[in-house]
């Protein structure tokens, strides 16, 4: 086993262990992937101010996200098909997050179901991400199931009314479970750990949908249903309806524009996530970290601002915090750890990010995450 010290180490190992179509699903963007790449590279352009002769004792990265105490300003992002990166992937991610003291967000398009997560974590509160489908009865049932499972926040994704052009997924013929083509069989033969894990679990379909929708009898009909069900007519009236139906903490994911941020405030949501869907929707869109400052300025203290996209280190978390994000989300960094080593890999990813966050905060002259602001950044290196 190689020595793992960075998220990049986990990515390299995950690429070796996860079947190609599922690794590519996680580690790719849409069209030319320019926004996908910018999400990470724009973080690197931001430079930090090193301070010295500052007491670095008694450091704390603990804070709150939507009123929930967290060990660091990081949550696990909702990611579809997580249970195809590693057997029972969503369960393993939720368990690691619970032990670490950060939120876990389950995707509508997960392999493990809402009920699976609740049972595995002894009904520990987790967050649930909702896609809006045309079948409003199904959405109502999903929301009710999330309530019954003790979900403490609903994360409503607004930027997937239609699907971006994701070339790798199209070329790989992405499906869950993978279709047994010659190419897929040859690739699976090189991933024995993954195959053994999948043989040991019954969870290989979309757990939140399979068995909960009339007429879904096989993966062919499920694929047809999901392709038809994402609602291109989603609007702010739907957000109001969902907020009323849910009745709890509501987070709006996919905000990139200041006008939309103001509409998010008007909707009464508790938080918004500055996000471009990991560069998987509109290629050519601004990176999340570049979009963040203007949105923070536009909404002030009227709504809690979070962000995702491109976070590969604790330094990235600190930079986002300095630019006004009260919380951040990790998707790929989480999936790399999961694909590499299961629950242990997720824990390792969280440990790496936490250690980098803690040390960098100290080098910048702070001992408490609550005091971090733009003063830790070198002027002229960050977006305004």
User: Would you say residue 38 lies in a domain?
Assistant: yes
User: Would you say residue 227 lies in a domain?
Assistant: yes
Residue 2 has pLDDT above 90, yes or no: no
Percent of the chain with pLDDT over 90: 87
Can you name the residues that pair with 316 across neighbouring β-strands? none
CA 14, CA 8: separation in Å to the nearest integer? 10
* CB distance 96 to 82 below 8 Å: no
Which letter does DSSP use for residue 206 in this model?
Answer: -
User: Would you say residue 231 lies in a domain?
Assistant: yes
Residue 175 pLDDT class (50, 70, 90 cuts): confident
User: Would you say residue 382 lies in a domain?
Assistant: no
User: Would you say residue 366 lies in a domain?
Assistant: no
What are the residue numbers of the active site? Answer: 277
CA 366, CA 362: separation in Å to the nearest integer? 5
User: Would you say residue 381 lies in a domain?
Assistant: no
CATH number at residue 265: 3.20.20.70
Total count of domains within the chain? 1
Residue 238 has pLDDT above 70, yes or no: yes
User: Would you say residue 371 lies in a domain?
Assistant: no
What is the pLDDT, as a whole number, of residue 147? Answer: 98
Query: Span 2-24, mean pLDDT?
Result: 97
Known binding-site residues for glyoxylate equal 25, 131, 166, 277, 280
Residue 224 has pLDDT above 90, yes or no: no
pTM: 0.96
Residue 15 pLDDT class (50, 70, 90 cuts): very high
Residue 357 has pLDDT above 90, yes or no: yes
Residue 119 has pLDDT above 80, yes or no: yes
Residue 217 has pLDDT above 80, yes or no: no
CA 257, CA 247: separation in Å to the nearest integer? 26
Residue 211 pLDDT class (50, 70, 90 cuts): confident
What is the pLDDT, as a whole number, of residue 174? Answer: 86
Known binding-site residues equal 25, 78-80, 107, 129, 131, 157, 166, 253, 275, 277, 280, 308-312, 331-332
Residue 223 pLDDT class (50, 70, 90 cuts): low
> Domain range spanning residue 247?
7-44+57-360
Residue 220 pLDDT class (50, 70, 90 cuts): low
Q: H/E/C letters for each residue in the chain?
A: CCCCCCHHHHHHHHHHHCCHHHHHHHCCCCCCCHHHHHHHHHHHHCCECCCCCCCCCCCECCEEECCEEECCCEEECCCCCHHHCCCCHHHHHHHHHHHHCCCEEECCCCCCCHHHHHHHCCCCCCEEEECCECCHHHHHHHHHHHHHCCCCEEEEECCCCCCCCCHHHHHHCCCCCCCCCHHHHHHHCCCHHHHHHHHCCCCCCCCCCCCCCCCCCCHHHHHHHHHHHECCCCCHHHHHHHHHHHCCEEEEEEECCHHHHHHHHHCCCCEEEECCHHHCCCCCCCCHHHHHHHHHHHHCCCCEEEEECCCCCHHHHHHHHHCCCCEEEECHHHHHHHHHHHHHHHHHHHHHHHHHHHHHHHHCCCCEHHHCCHHHECCCCCCC
User: Would you say residue 22 lies in a domain?
Assistant: yes
């Amino acid at each position: 086993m190689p020595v793992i010290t960075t998220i990049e180490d986990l990515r390299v190992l995950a690429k070796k262990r996860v079947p190609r179509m599922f690794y590519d699903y996680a580690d790719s963007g849409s069209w030319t992937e320019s926004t996908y790449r910018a999400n990470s590279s724009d973080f690197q352009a931001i430079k930090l101010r090193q301070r010295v002769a500052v007491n670095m004792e008694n450091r704390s990265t603990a804070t709150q996200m939507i009123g929930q105490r967290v060990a660091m300003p990081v949550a696990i992002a909702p990611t579809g098909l997580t249970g195809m990166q590693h057997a029972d992937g969503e369960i393993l991610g939720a368990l690691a997050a619970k032990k670490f003291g950060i939120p876990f967000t389950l995707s509508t398009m997960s392999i493990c179901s809402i009920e699976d997560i609740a049972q595995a974590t002894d009904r520990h509160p987790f967050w649930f991400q909702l896609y809006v489908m045309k079948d409003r009865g199904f959405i109502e049932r999903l929301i009710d199931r999330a309530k019954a499972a003790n979900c403490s926040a609903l994360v409503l994704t607004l930027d997937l009314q239609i699907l971006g052009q994701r070339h790798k997924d199209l070329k790989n013929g992405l499906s869950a479970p993978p279709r047994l083509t010659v190419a897929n069989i040859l690739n699976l033969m090189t991933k024995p750990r993954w195959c053994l894990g999948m043989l040991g679990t019954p969870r290989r379909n979309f757990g939140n949908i399979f068995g909960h929708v009339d007429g879904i009898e096989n993966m062919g009909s499920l694929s047809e249903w999901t392709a038809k069900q994402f609602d291109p007519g989603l609007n702010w009236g739907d957000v109001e309806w969902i907020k009323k139906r849910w009745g709890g903490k509501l987070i709006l994911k996919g905000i990139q524009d200041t006008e939309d941020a103001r509409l998010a405030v008007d909707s009464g949501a508790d938080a918004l996530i500055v996000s471009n869907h990991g560069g998987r929707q509109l290629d050519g869109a601004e990176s999340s970290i570049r979009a963040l400052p203007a949105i923070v300025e536009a909404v002030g203290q009227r709504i809690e601002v979070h962000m995702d996209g491109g976070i590969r280190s604790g330094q990235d978390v600190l930079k986002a915090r300095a630019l006004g994000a009260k919380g951040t989300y990790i998707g790929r960094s989480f999936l790399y750890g999961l694909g590499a080593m299961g629950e242990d890999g997720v824990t390792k990813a969280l440990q790496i990010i936490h250690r980098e966050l803690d040390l960098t905060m100290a080098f910048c002259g702070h001992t408490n995450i609550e005091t971090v602001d733009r003063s830790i950044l070198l002027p002229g290196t960050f977006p305004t």
